[in-house]
A and B are shown apart, each in its own frame.
Chain A
């Protein structure tokens, strides 16, 4: 008698090596289905080409814009080709840097304190009459206070503690930094005491309502600040913007004009290593920091211990789109305009990936091979997510890289962006496309009909984006569409941060979304998760 080992089919499940039955195997099966349908592979390429191609059309279709960029009418200037330039801050972002400065160079460590008793602004408005006539007004970000700045060159590193007309005391540094201190406006009855101290590269700002009780607002590090830095009083008042109207389909119309502010300082005192020699009055000098071809209004008057300083301009980042429609600077958002077309192509693919199985009856074979329906759904989700990510990534990368090359070749001016931010936008587009593809696939499982799936998916993500970004609905409604619809995920494509310390209408059209990238992703992910959950439920409940 011979003992024979019982026969085991090589196809039978073996707990030790679940190669035939595992999730990886299901994913592989679904991937094979995807890549072997010629139309779908072509569709994938069409998606990439549509994204990249439309971006190219947008960047190539423009005139070679040889206009001056008068961002704020003060900070930066520009002309065609090589001549155009923004002032760049220490971190590489375009900035406005013009203000009236009562300063002296002070070496080493030390501190400076001042009291502000008044801050008033005058503005040019449509009704103020005459081309240069001004009337009293309120410019919320008019500022006056203490500043320490590496040198008198525009764009150099600085830290400042200022009172503002509408946003209380602020500590601001290197253009993008902004921290709030004491709230409220300044007046003789409610003066504001400000103090800046330097210790090496660390600048600390304090504020106080009475000159005895001090609160630290912020401590910031200005890397590479020279030993002898310019220290003194700053006054600046950005352009005054009045909301004139909201045009349907045409965005907003604003009037904007220059403004100036005047601040009254007293009790100016230096301390620590900055104390001037005893008996000598510190040699304060007044001057306007700004573009030499556009000298701003400014001046100061000293009487006793009191300084009255008038200035204009702003020390702040320049958001893209600040120049409005006339702004010829091309942004990354312009290159990515084809995203919607790539997403529509992806929708068709993701929808067909499911609905074609229903139409052909292949779905029954699929479930016969893999009875765990949830696993099939997960495997399909993985495949479309990978395809979506690849399409978004490749399309966005091609659009941005080629768009930049075209912009350079045409001599148009590209709004500066850091490599990190660019990479974030490109990867973000991939993530957006991946989630969108999974959402469309899940809708396909729910609806089970190709055309209806595409229509529903386009309706919930691309159409809200279109309505909101191209102002087909009032701004308020568009804002809500970009908060609650899956189109919120387009926030992943926002290339530049919106700056609270610059009054501007941060419109979706200019590439600013109401939610942060993570917030937008969360909304899109929630929709995707909900659709997947419903799809999984229906997939179990219904006959195939």
Chain B
């Protein structure tokens, strides 16, 4: 680690934590994710025929973690503001005056953002799992119908939970990299959300099933959220961890692009 990394991290952490909006956003990530997960779980109803896995086709982990769909929007916003906000206010020039090593500054900010996102994601996913564990058995997804309660003791549920935390962190890094590349917060968040939603919407309407499947395989959101799947893994176009790997590739690509722009262009 470069000798200036520790002070750089310290500086970025100070900037990050002293903004009032940061804490509200972190809280919003957790609150929104848990609320939506709980509402989705509570809204689940078995079909008239019964609650057996064959009839419902339901994946308890996906139901219990549905709030991640909304939580990722706030996570992305958090990351976008972490770097986009400095461009908006002109603070970025002061930052680079104090820390002329641009890649160090870029990396330090990325690490602080990712760490904050990780913490918020742990809260969000943990709360969602707890809500799912409490609510889903009452909605018919109970042991009597052949469903295990949502619990981190089971390998697949643990994968879904940890994977969701990693997924949210990767979305933060993706948003951070994209915003560093476009250097504007509003355009950055628009681009990130557009990219996330683009692939699933396109693959849903394209009548060519082979092409649609390929689109899902390269989609940052769809593929990444395969990690939440605990049933019907054979039908997925990728394994859960491969899917998360796709999101990781997107995040890496965005970070490289963002770092290149950050390094090469005037602030």
**CB < 8 Å: which of B43, B74, B80 contacts A474?**
B43
Q: A248-B63, A340-B201, A473-B40 are in contact. Are A449 and B185 (CB under 8 A)?
A: yes
A359–B86 CA distance with the chains assembled, in angstroms: 12
B residues within 8 A CB of A65? 207
Tell me, rounded to whole Å, the shortest Cβ–Cβ distance linking B52 to chain A. 9
B residues within 8 A CB of A351? 186
Tell me, rounded to whole Å, the shortest Cβ–Cβ distance linking A62 to chain B. 4
Nearest-neighbor residue (CB-CB) of A253 within chain B: B57
Q: Are the CB atoms of A454 and B189 closer together than 8 Å?
A: yes
Q: Are the CB atoms of A250 and B208 closer together than 8 Å?
A: no
**CB < 8 Å: which of B21, B48, B69 contacts A467?**
B69
Q: Are the CB atoms of A476 and B77 closer together than 8 Å?
A: no
* Interface of B, helix, strand, loop or mixed by DSSP: helix
Nearest-neighbor residue (CB-CB) of A359 within chain B: B88
A351–B187 CA distance with the chains assembled, in angstroms: 10
Q: Which one of A58, A246, A454 has the highest number of Cβ atoms from chain B below 10 Å of its Cβ?
A: A454
Q: A243-B48, A248-B59, A470-B204 are in contact. Are A451 and B194 (CB under 8 A)?
A: no
Q: Are the CB atoms of B43 and A476 closer together than 8 Å?
A: yes
Q: Are the CB atoms of A450 and B205 closer together than 8 Å?
A: no
A residues within 8 A CB of B160? none
**CB < 8 Å: which of B186, B204, B205, B211 contacts A453?**
B186
A residues within 8 A CB of B80? 451, 455
Q: A344-B194, A476-B43 are in contact. Are A451 and B200 (CB under 8 A)?
A: no
Q: Are the CB atoms of B47 and A463 closer together than 8 Å?
A: no
A residues within 8 A CB of B77? 451-452, 455
**CB < 8 Å: which of B58, B73, B88, B208 contacts A463?**
B73
A35–B24 CA distance with the chains assembled, in angstroms: 35
B97 interfacial by beta-carbon distance below 8 Å: no
Q: Which bucket holds chain A's interface residue count?
A: 35 or more
B267 interfacial by beta-carbon distance below 8 Å: no
Q: Give A411-448 as 1s and 0s: 1 = Cβ < 8 Å from B's Cβ atoms.
A: 01000000000000000000000000000000000000
Tell me, rounded to whole Å, the shortest Cβ–Cβ distance linking B187 to chain A. 6
A38–B59 CA distance with the chains assembled, in angstroms: 48
Q: A245-B47, A248-B63, A451-B84 are in contact. Are A466 and B197 (CB under 8 A)?
A: yes
Those of A333-360 within 8 Å (CB) of chain B:
334, 337, 340-341, 344-345, 347-348, 351-352, 355, 359
**CB < 8 Å: which of B54, B63, B204, B208 contacts A62?**
B208
- The 11 sampled A-B contact pairs (Cβ below 8 Å) are A58-B205, A61-B202, A65-B207, A243-B49, A244-B55, A245-B54, A246-B56, A359-B89, A451-B85, A463-B69, A474-B63
Besides the known contacts A463-B197, A473-B69, 13 further A-B residue pairs in the complex with CB atoms under 8 A apart: A54-B202, A61-B211, A65-B207, A248-B58, A337-B202, A340-B197, A347-B190, A412-B207, A451-B80, A459-B74, A470-B201, A473-B66, A480-B43
Which B residues lie at the A interface, using CB under 8 A? Answer: 21, 39-40, 43-45, 47-49, 54-59, 62-63, 66, 69-70, 73-74, 76-77, 80-81, 84-85, 88-89, 184-190, 193-194, 197-198, 200-202, 204-208, 211
